[in-house]
Amino acid sequence: MTTHPDPGTRLAGALLLISFVAMVAGAALVAPSGLTLNPADPVAALTAVRDQVGLHLAELALDVVGWLALTTAGLVVAGGRAGLRGHLAVPAGGLLAAAGLAGLLHDAGNLAVTRLAADPAHGSAEVALLTAKWGVNLAGLLWVAATVATTAALPGPRWLRWAGAAVAGSGLAAVVLPWTTGTAGVSPGLEQLGYALHLPVMLWYAVLGVRCLRGR
pLDDT at 70 over 50: yes
Residue 111 in any domain: the answer is yes
Instruction: Determine the pLDDT at residue 11.
Output: 92
Residue 120 in any domain: the answer is yes
Query: Taking CA 56 as the corner, what is the angle to CA 34 and CA 46, rounded to the nearest 5 degrees?
Result: 65
Instruction: Determine the pLDDT at residue 1.
Output: 42
Residue 146 in any domain: the answer is yes
Residue 101 in any domain: the answer is yes
The size of the chain, in residues, is 216
pLDDT digit string, tens, across residues 134-156 = 888 999 999 999 999 999 888 87
Average pLDDT taken over every residue of the chain: 85
Helix crossing, 125-153 with 53-78: angle to 10°? 30
pLDDT at 3 over 60: no
**Cα–Cα dist 104/172, whole Å:** 20
According to the per-residue pLDDT averaged within each range, which of 49-53, 65-69, 183-187 is highest? 65-69
In percent, the amount of the chain with pLDDT more than 70 equals 87
Residue 124 in any domain: the answer is yes
Residue 145 in any domain: the answer is yes
**Cα–Cα dist 151/126, whole Å:** 37
40 DSSP assignment: T
Rounded to two decimals, the pTM is 0.89
Residue 1 in any domain: the answer is no
User: What domain range includes position 121?
Assistant: 7-214
Residue 188 in any domain: the answer is yes
More confident call, 34 vs 160: 160
pLDDT at 183 over 90: no
Mean pLDDT of 154-183: 86
Instruction: Determine the pLDDT at residue 208.
Output: 92
Domain count along the chain: 1
DSSP for the chain? --SS--HHHHHHHHHHHHHHHHHHHHHHHHGGGT----TT-HHHHHHHHHHTHHHHHHHHHHHHHHHHHHHHHHHHHHTT-S---GGGHHHHHHHHHHHHHHHHHHHHHHHHHHHHHH-GGGS-HHHHHHHHHHHHHHHHHHHHHHHHHHHHH--S-HHHHHHHHHHHHHHHHHHHGGGGGGGG---HHHHHHHHHHHHHHHHHHHHHHHHHHHT-
pLDDT digit string, tens, across residues 91-119 = 999 999 999 999 999 999 888 888 888 77
